[in-house]
Amino acid sequence: MQLKKEIGLFSGIAIIAGIMIGSGIFVFGSLILTRVGYALGLSLLVWLIGGIITLFSGLTYAELGTMFPETGGYYVYLKKAYGKKTAFLSGTMNFVLASSGSIALLALVFSDILSYILPVTNYVKWIAAGVIIILSLINYLGVKFGSLVQKIFLVAKLIPLIGIIVIGLFLGTESVTLNFIPEGGLTVTKLFTTIGFGVVGTLWAYEGWTNLNTVSGEMKNVSKDLPKAILIAISGVTIIYVLFTFSIYRLIPLNDLIALSEGGAVLPIPAMMSVFGNTGMYLVFGAVLISVFGALNGSVMVFPRVYYAMALDQTFFKSFKTIDKKHQTPSIAIFGSMVMSLVLLLFNVEQLLTFVVFTGLIFNTLIFASVFIFRKKQPDLKRPYKVWGYPYVPGIAIIGMVGLFIATLVEDLVPSLIGLGVLVVAYLFYTFVIEKKMKKGE
């Protein structure tokens, strides 16, 4: 029994954009503005550069996805480029920390925002658990049903984002000075470090672009729709992020922007309150809830497909390759992912964020490098789509990942060390358990 091919172009765009647009664009505005020394023009530039690096990364992924249109995404590429052990380490790290951690993180953010609207502060983790369980059940009912939810919430989250952009552009009264010189002056060295540090911050908000490849085996026309979906979704999200940030600057005076950013404020809230009073605050809360819910649904949909692919490869629990006869979904993988995500609710948001990003940085770098490996070792392999700008585009993507990895290791040492610890344990388990079974033919 095989998984149904139910995902078209719009569904593909909805999966990528729906996961990318979560809480990041609402929350990280203060962080980026602080990192670039409150230079408004420079902050818009780093948001744009972050989007371009993400686009280059996505286009690199598109070549791999059309070469190997199989459910499992990154696991498949790592296995073909480096062997089963590396692929197993990536899949296990994602199951134990990154992917399950991403689901737990989004669920916690959702319930935390909900607590600002409803008196549920004492039940935040219970609500997070409930949302994870509900969305797991929805996606168990079929990829078509899950992608329908994704489409609905993509449209729903775009409405308030575009609304805020329109309000800022046409009702905002502040004259935005596009200053590219940060506080304290500028040298050539400081220019690159300031921009680099700012771009690292934006990349957190662009996370999620890898996930359509994970379900590429369930796309109707993967060779045409996968590259198109990646290009349209990432380009569209980049434009939205830049315009959204600019519109916020149109609504808040510069001195207030600086003061709010120093305090780590969620900038869209005072921006909307300047126009609508307290109603504006609740409008932003509602927008964040919709965005996070859509991102969470997309994550619950795509992550279990990797564990399903691993089980087929005999490098994960055998039961995870089970496909439900009625709904044709990887049911055990979906519910296994659900259980692991529920366990990770024991950690806090900051720890989960590091788990998610740290794992992705290690293996995304290897995945981008695999494009060079496949071009050299398998030059005649059919490539329905070739990443344009090769070798520069994948090279820039690799540099971006390495820079973010170093920043994460420096800024969040303890959670990073936990991630490395899980990696070591997974390596030992594969070496002394799985490899021995393979040699015995079990």
> Ramachandran region of residue 208, left (φ > 0), alpha (ψ -120 to 50) or beta?
left
Residue 65 in contact with residue 210, Cβ under 8 Å? no
Per-residue confidence at 388, pLDDT binned at 50, 70, 90?
A: confident
Report how far residue 108's alpha carbon sits from residue 356's, in angstroms, rounded to the nearest whole number.
14
List pLDDT tens digits, range 221-231. Answer: 998 999 999 99
**CATH for the 9-440 domain, from 3.40.50.2300, 1.10.10.10, 1.20.1250.20, 1.20.1740.10:** 1.20.1740.10
> Percent of the chain, pLDDT > 70?
95
337, 347, 329: which is closest to 125 by C-alpha? 347
Every domain of the chain and the residues it spans: 9-440
Q: Is 89 a residue whose pLDDT tops 60?
A: yes
Q: Please tell me the predicted confidence (pLDDT) of residue 241.
A: 96
Q: Is 190 a residue whose pLDDT tops 70?
A: no
List pLDDT tens digits, range 271-314. Answer: 999 989 989 988 888 888 988 888 898 889 889 988 998 898 88
DSSP string across 341-357 = HHHHTTS-HHHHHHHHH
Report how far residue 298's alpha carbon sits from residue 106's, in angstroms, rounded to the nearest whole number.
11
DSSP state of 97: I
Section 404-426 average pLDDT: 79
Report how far residue 344's alpha carbon sits from residue 103's, in angstroms, rounded to the nearest whole number.
9
Report how far residue 270's alpha carbon sits from residue 251's, in angstroms, rounded to the nearest whole number.
9
**Residue 175: helix, strand or coil by DSSP?**
coil
How high is the mean pLDDT of the chain? 87
Residue 397 in contact with residue 56, Cβ under 8 Å? yes
Q: Is 380 a residue whose pLDDT tops 80?
A: yes
DSSP state of 123: G
Q: Please tell me the predicted confidence (pLDDT) of residue 349.
A: 75
Question: Bigger pLDDT: 177 or 55?
Answer: 55
Q: Please tell me the predicted confidence (pLDDT) of residue 156.
A: 85
Range of lowest pLDDT (186-195, 317-326, 342-351): 186-195
Per-residue confidence at 168, pLDDT binned at 50, 70, 90?
A: very high
List pLDDT tens digits, range 110-145. Answer: 998 898 888 998 999 999 999 999 999 999 988 777
List pLDDT tens digits, range 241-272. Answer: 999 999 999 999 999 999 998 887 888 989 99
Q: Please tell me the predicted confidence (pLDDT) of residue 374.
A: 94
Burial readout 303-315 (b: 16 or more C-beta within 10 A, e: otherwise): bbbbbbbbbbbeb
Burial of residue 441, with CB atoms counted within 10 A of its CB: 0-12 exposed, 13-18 middle, 19 or more buried: exposed
Section 382-395 average pLDDT: 89
Q: Is 354 a residue whose pLDDT tops 80?
A: no
> Which residue reads 């992608």 in tokens?
147
| Single-letter amino acid, residue 23 | S
Question: What residues contact 306, with CB distance under 8 A and at least 6 apart?
Answer: 72, 73, 74, 75, 91, 94, 95, 99, 214
Cα-based angle 396, 402, 405 (whole degrees, multiple of 5) = 140
**Residue 283: helix, strand or coil by DSSP?**
helix
